[in-house]
Structure 1
């Protein structure tokens, strides 16, 4: 059996989330679209019953350092309403789609903090596709037929290596096949109010898997409710068979208050990053959830990471 070693981010990660962030999780499940081409504020998010959730929060004006191109969205818990910049229209997600894959996996198979979870086996069919995926220049982790992955190991391969083959296997493990799993992803998107999002595959390699920065902030906010998700989305490196280390493309982890995130890059998508960070504002720590998408030019997610760093730095201090 192939052994994978994971080097996680520091475990105090969850404890760094201040108690002040708790009300945000109950209230922030929606971002409404802004006007194209300019930063916008959105109305308070609705509750599940359809009534407006009135959250008492001191409003603070920020001079957000928005990226010059593409689109972005941000929510600063407790002090500011959701805001966005750029054209609010669906754009390819690239591997940012894996946030939904991880979220659905964790909803279907809840995982305790620090627990390995159940074990799953790699199918012969997926193992046989490895060469084809290599030729398509997909992000992958080496697999063999029957190789066993714990749920946590699979999630870390998904979120750190951005392994497309693991994304597709998760679909099989949860729903018996990709079509049913993608349908579940889209149902979940509707439940979260992600009205501008469509998933056509579990990995985001398909350019018809599209979303908006505002929708991705909705999703990442919901995912951050799950301590296991926070852990796996904050892992900094993954060691593949043979000891080769795969660093997380989100090089801001451990810097600027960055807690968790997911990068994505393809030529159709450009560079994308969705993230959560903790920033100190007026003497109090607040959770910041943001997304930067369709960043160009570049040949990796690095341009989105740089744009996100500038955006984060315009919001309080680390």
Structure 2
């Protein structure tokens, strides 16, 4: 004899079937669908804009290079406005890379040290005003940095150049002939000052996200404050510091007015970092665009394409470095 199903006990609701899990990337609510569509559309639009820029630069660069009477990669001359144009990017590539490397070597250690001081050493009433000043430095326009570099930094670099020539002049890289201090080293120092607030702000925010449990565990094991930073803070924030450095490097690679104001406008490569001369992609475009004819503008666009490719390669390298350090990301902490 079959037993009838028992009624649910009083006060207990009948069991309901659990809803089936939704597949990843799907949305059921109207607001979710709208937000998903806008997000996807924004990403696709960004890719389309980047592709359009690349196509435009490539097309105009091909037009310019096809008329170049020299080697675009190795020629140490820039004369695209003549009837037989001759131009190359050797000087520009050298100046862009060297000035950016100098800026990064100076700015990254100082920025990381400032960020660590503000987050782990300075008292709150002192770290607040310092952080506020750093934020203000990040908002200063480039032309203001350029004027400061030309009127203040360049006249006061003679002492440093003399010291470097006395003690390191035998290397050839730091030999000085006594000319004006409008050189690659001065530009690198100016760029370091400009990118310092960007790297400091991002690194400071990354260090603030370090789990307190990690630091307290290290302190409980008897670690000193520096050992806590070395074992817990720096490994956790390594990918963030790399990202901050890449942001600063992007600004250093593309800086225009500050470099054009400080650097001596001579199209050559000096063996010494203290001798005037050199150039960068952005500085050359800014200074030569006004006097360029159609062929000259195409040549400048071709140099801009090279800067565009260098920036993409730098960002790609940064992404690869961060991907290899996933164990230090905040998501896996």
Instruction: Say yes or no: TM over 0.5.
Output: no
Name the one with the larger strand percent: 1
Q: TM-score, normalised by structure 1?
A: 0.29
Q: Give 1 or 2 for the bigger CA radius of gyration.
A: 2
